[in-house]
Amino acid sequence: MQDNVNDAPANAHAPGVDIIAQNVVKIFGEGAGQVRALDDVSVTIHENEFFTLLGPSGCGKTTLLRLIAGFDHPTSGTIRLEGQDISHLPPYKRPVNTVFQNYALFPHMTVAQNIGFGLEMLGRSNSDVADVVDKMLALVRMGELRDRRTDQISGGQQQRVALARALAPRPKVLLLDEPLSALDYKLRKDMQIELKRLQHETGITFIFVTHDQEEALTMSDRIAVMSRGQILQIGSPRQIYDHPAERFVADFIGDTNFLIADVTSSAGGKARLLLSSGREVNADLPEGMTPSGRVTAVVRPEHATLVTPGEGELDGMLENVVYLGTDTHYHLKLSDNAPFVVRSQNQRNEDEVFAVGETVGIALESDSLQVLRD
Ligand X SMILES: Nc1ncnc2c1ncn2[C@@H]1O[C@H](COP(=O)(O)OP(=O)(O)OP(=O)(O)O)[C@@H](O)[C@H]1O
- Binding interface with ligand X (CB under 6 A): 28-29, 35, 37, 55, 57-63, 211
92 contributes a contact to other proteins by CB under 8 A: yes
Give, to the nearest 10 degrees, the angle between helix 111-121 and helix 155-167.
Answer: 20
Q: How many residues does the chain have?
A: 374
Are 192 and 218 contacting, i.e. CB atoms less than 8 angstroms apart? yes
Looking at 108, 186, 238, 348, which residue binds other proteins (CB under 8 A)?
A: 108
Are 102 and 181 contacting, i.e. CB atoms less than 8 angstroms apart? no
CA 173/CA 140 separation, integer angstroms: 18
60 contributes a contact to other proteins by CB under 8 A: no
Nearer to ligand X, 159 or 277 (CB): 159
Segment interacting with Mg ion (CB under 5 A) among 1-9, 54-62, 211-219, 253-261: 54-62
Looking at 51, 117, 248, 340, which residue binds other proteins (CB under 8 A)?
A: 117
CA 297/CA 180 separation, integer angstroms: 34
| Residue 9 partner contact from other proteins, Mg ion, ligand X, none using kind-dependent CB cut-offs of 5 to 8 Å | none
118 contributes a contact to other proteins by CB under 8 A: yes
98 contributes a contact to Mg ion by CB under 5 A: no
The β-bridge relationship of strands 230-235 and 222-227 is antiparallel
186 contributes a contact to other proteins by CB under 8 A: no
Looking at 22, 62, 199, 277, which residue binds Mg ion (CB under 5 A)?
A: 62
Are 281 and 313 contacting, i.e. CB atoms less than 8 angstroms apart? yes
Q: Total binding residues for Mg ion by CB under 5 A?
A: 1
Close Cβ partners of 289 (under 8 Å, ≥ 6 residues apart): 371, 373
Name the minimum Å distance from CB 58 to ligand X: 4
179 contributes a contact to other proteins by CB under 8 A: no
Close Cβ partners of 268 (under 8 Å, ≥ 6 residues apart): none
199 contributes a contact to Mg ion by CB under 5 A: no
Nearer to other proteins, 168 or 245 (CB): 168
373 contributes a contact to other proteins by CB under 8 A: no
Which residue is closest to Mg ion by CB?
A: 62
Nearest alpha carbon to residue 256 among 373, 339, 336, 366: 339
Instruction: Provide the β-strand partners of residue 91.
Output: none
Nearest alpha carbon to residue 241 among 39, 18, 52: 52
Instruction: Provide the β-strand partners of residue 258.
Output: 298
| Residue 97 partner contact from Mg ion, ligand X, other proteins, none using kind-dependent CB cut-offs of 5 to 8 Å | other proteins
The residue ranges that bind Mg ion (CB under 5 A) are: 62
The residue ranges that bind other proteins (CB under 8 A) are: 69-71, 90-92, 96-98, 100, 102, 104, 106-108, 117-118, 121-122, 165-166, 169
